[in-house]
Amino acid sequence: MGGFFGVISRKDCKYDVFFGTDYHSHLGTRRGGLSFYDENRGFQRQIHNIENTPFRTKFEADLNKLSGNAGIGCISDTDPQPLLVRSHLGMFAIATVGLINNAEELVAQTFAGPGHQFMAMSSGKVNTTELTAALINQKETLVEGIRHAQQVIDGSSTILILTENSIVAARDKLGRVPVLIGQNPEGCCVSFESFAYHKLGYQDYYELGPGEIVRITPEGVQQLAAPGEKMKICAFLWTYYGYPNSNYEGKNVEVMRYRNGEIMAREEVKNGTLPDVDYVAGVPDSGLPHAIGYANHSHKAFARPFVKYTPTWARSFMPSNQQMRNLVAEMKQIPVPELIQDKKLLFVDDSIVRGTQLRETVDFLYKRGAKEVHMRSACPPIMYGCKYLNFSSSNSEMELLARKMVQKIEGDEGQEHLEEYADSKTARGQCLLKTICQELGFDSLGYQSLDGVLEAIGLDKDKVCTYCWTGKE
């Protein structure tokens, strides 16, 4: 995924950009970057690897070297950014959030003309933000260039551009991620997460529509291109990615998660599938609010049989070795033996992607004396890798737990019936639940329905992207 934050102000804004960007650290773990414009010093930029050290720690020392009344920052799970670009459109810094599926094709088309080149990253691939900038620069104005880039990109592209006198923000053409603007007496900010600017003293000012392009100055917002009518905002913003106190399209993340858990429990009570358990618990951290909602509606006691120990384990710490990753995941889990020994437990997780960590969690609980472990997923089975935001991406969709189990059950034939397997009311859906229970050691398993997730979000289903569950655009 990735996140961004920008400020343009009548005063130096480096601390607002620094802290605002840091508040997006939950959205990425690989790269962080800051860029500022100062009338005397021009453009400045710093980019760091944040895989083993948090953003704030990495960039704190850089603040003495940076200044400006305008700046942007980003957290990225993919490319180093923001990038500084010099072209016929002028000098600017650019950051993007999205995914370009046809990058190689677009690079080849760009190379077809004379005099073009791209810097290769260590992976040998082209930086997709650089590619986006190259596409923008093919047109005569920033607005025309942004429109062109978003039109030819297969995937999604939300763009933030810092110029000498403004910040230009462009939400993806289908609005897959939010772009929100805050305002204080000194100027304006632009953000992925609304809470980031609330904590810095900005008030809600404007939310871009899908495909909308605006110019932001200290005085306010000027619309450069009107929003489109069609929207496909990512449902996972509410179920997993989004920070609890953020709002997207007027819908709060934490409230959605409580409601989502309540709906899951409501349906289990109605269907007679609610197990007799001692405690309902959430898989930390994003599973907790879903579990609270579930516990409240089912009238089962909520508890935390284990907690995450994070002070010395940065979220971004991700060893390359799978065995080491599993060890680190287990070391973060600190049990409360009195809430596990001889207890029947029901856990709610935000989602089940590959299932590796859940298997470790179940083993962890049984080794400490749990009598039963029931699992509930706060969203439907993930059947497809995300084409738009780099969520649940993998080398193969067969790495996804649900797809892997379908293959185990029915082979290639089963891949033709994924819609049935995703529906727990069908025979194939029930078979999938039983197979996953056997594979991961659950006493029972339940998935939230697609209708349940959409009800919890509270937006029209046509405005929400559910591709990873349905495979439908």
For residue range 163-208, what is the model confidence (pLDDT) as tens digits? Answer: 999 999 999 999 999 999 999 999 999 999 999 999 999 999 999 9
Percent of the chain scoring above 90 in pLDDT = 80
- Quick one: pLDDT band at residue 30, thresholds 50, 70, 90? confident
Query: pTM score, two decimals?
Result: 0.91
Higher pLDDT, 84 or 116: 84
The helix/strand/coil state of 113 is coil
Give residues with Cβ within 8 angstroms of 386, minimum separation 6.
99, 392, 393, 467, 468
Which whole-number Å values give the CA distances from 404 to 376, 382, 394, in the listed order?
19, 11, 13
Decide if pLDDT at 394 tops 80.
no
Contact indicator for 193, 243 with CB cutoff of 8 Å: yes
Question: How would you class 226 by CB atoms within 10 Å of its CB: exposed for 0-12, middle for 13-18, buried for 19 or more?
Answer: exposed
Question: How would you class 126 by CB atoms within 10 Å of its CB: exposed for 0-12, middle for 13-18, buried for 19 or more?
Answer: buried
The helix/strand/coil state of 157 is strand
Contact indicator for 181, 9 with CB cutoff of 8 Å: no
Mean pLDDT, residues 143-148 taken together: 97
The whole-number pLDDT of residue 316 equals 40
Return the residue matching tokens 């449902």.
235
The identity of residue 143, as a single letter, is V
Mean pLDDT, residues 340-366 taken together: 92
Which whole-number Å values give the CA distances from 296 to 218, 234, 258, 281, 425, in the listed order?
45, 27, 9, 11, 25
Decide if pLDDT at 348 tops 70.
yes
pLDDT digits (tens, 9 = 90+) for 415-433: 999 999 999 999 999 999 9
In this predicted structure, which of 180-194, 219-233, 393-407, 453-467 has the lowest mean pLDDT?
393-407
Decide if pLDDT at 120 tops 70.
no
Residue ranges and CATH numbers for the domains of the chain are 2-231 (3.60.20.10), 252-458 (3.40.50.2020)
In this predicted structure, which of 28-42, 201-215, 300-314 has the lowest mean pLDDT?
300-314
- Dihedral sign of CA atoms 28, 461, 471, 147 in order: negative
Here the tokens at position 77 are 């799970």
Strand 167-170 and strand 213-217: the pairing is: antiparallel
Decide if pLDDT at 326 tops 70.
no
Separation between Cα atoms, residue 16 and residue 186, nearest integer Å: 12
Mean pLDDT, residues 306-332 taken together: 61
Decide if pLDDT at 362 tops 60.
yes
Separation between Cα atoms, residue 210 and residue 238, nearest integer Å: 18
Round the average pLDDT of the chain to a whole number and report it.
92
Percent of the chain scoring above 70 in pLDDT = 92
Give residues with Cβ within 8 angstroms of 57, minimum separation 6.
none
- Bond preceding residue 342 cis, omega within 30 of 0: no
Here the tokens at position 328 are 């680190």
Decide if pLDDT at 317 tops 50.
no
How far, in whole angstroms, is CA 1 from its chain's centroid?
A: 5
Decide if pLDDT at 319 tops 50.
no
Higher pLDDT, 444 or 124: 444
pLDDT digits (tens, 9 = 90+) for 220-241: 999 999 999 999 999 999 999 9
Report CA dihedral (345, 347, 353, 357) to the nearest 10 degrees.
-60
Contact indicator for 140, 159 with CB cutoff of 8 Å: no
Q: Identify the helix (H) or strand (E) that includes residue 87.
A: strand 83-87
Separation between Cα atoms, residue 382 and residue 321, nearest integer Å: 25
pLDDT digits (tens, 9 = 90+) for 64-103: 999 999 999 999 988 899 999 999 999 999 999 999 999 9
Separation between Cα atoms, residue 445 and residue 112, nearest integer Å: 53
Closest CA to 263 of 97, 453, 48, 443: 453
Decide if pLDDT at 318 tops 50.
no
The whole-number pLDDT of residue 285 equals 85
Here the tokens at position 98 are 């999205």
